[in-house]
Amino acid sequence: MNNKLIDRKFCVAPMMSYTTPYARTLYRILSKKSFLFTEMIATKTMIHSKNINPIIEKENQNPIALQVGGSNLNDLKNCSKIAYSLNYDEINLNVGCPSKAVLKGSFGACLMQNKKLVRECLESMHVNENIQVSLKCRIGIGNQLNYDFFEEFIDEILKSGIKIIYIHARNAILSGISPKLNRSIPPLDYSFVRKIKTKYPNIIFVLNGGIDNLEKALELSNEFDGVMVGRLIQNNPFCLGKVDKMFFNTSNNIGYDEKIIHEYFEYIKPKLKNESIYRLLSPLLQIFFGVPNSKEYKIKVHENMQKNRIDILENLFLKFVNKQNNLQIT
């Protein structure tokens, strides 16, 4: 894969328990161009777990990045080798997650306190020119915004040779608030990313944080090298059907479409032997998000999920899609 040809104008953020292989498959059905991410995977888990394959499975999901968390140089190198062997386009190091769990494991946002170690981590991940190494970070840590700290951090990590940085334009507060509140309480400051982009015009900077609709995403994507969107997709993955036309000027513009339902069910049916129907259908349940009078369908779907009635469930989703299409016509 020639990474120079990959456009990161619209990226779907890595989200724990959400950007599963099943969700990513649905995202790819809806958008052929969006750049996808796995959930963050701890390097130790990736190397030593016997059950890692279902997490990193990525059939037909390119372009896509595998995101890892860790700070052991040898583990990171081995993870890069695994990612390359599985034909990932990119391996991404997370130094932006503020949860207590990652603090204990010496990865995530706490690593921003040791920029030299982060640089060494990134250097260890360069194993093949055909897989890009990238970083996801915040603009700082703690309660006080400090551009000098952010600039010095970027100066150092760029010595590793990376060319792609995804920046959540908030500080990470490492104690006192939850990871969820870390997505809203620390103030957004896009100016930090604008300023560093001016200093390093040849580096790909993708903006993340506070992008809650596609129109705002499109506006910002024209200012930066791309945008990374998380909760908008989590809440309503079906907005991805508009992304290829809006952001990449293709003719692909998918609304409520029976083909989506058919294709997704064909994908999950063989997996029912080994996976929970709830986990398989979880991404598709967001089709009801914000749709008036969808309660009846939700109740029937949950009733039939309890009974593992996959064919009835497929028909319920098809009926719902047809109903929405008829409403749009009238």
Residues with active-site annotation:
97
Q: How many angstroms separate the CA atoms of 88 and 61, rounded? A: 9
Distances in whole angstroms, Cα of residue 314 to Cα of each of 195, 204, 258: 49, 41, 10
Question: Is the Cβ–Cβ distance between 246 and 216 less than 8 Å?
Answer: no
Any idea which residue has 């903006």 for tokens?
Answer: 207
Q: How many angstroms separate the CA atoms of 209 and 204, rounded? A: 17
- Determine the residue type at 110: C
Please count the helices (runs of H) and the strands (runs of E) in the chain: 15, 9
Q: How many angstroms separate the CA atoms of 210 and 228, rounded? A: 10
Question: Is the Cβ–Cβ distance between 56 and 41 less than 8 Å?
Answer: yes
Question: Is the Cβ–Cβ distance between 240 and 246 less than 8 Å?
Answer: no
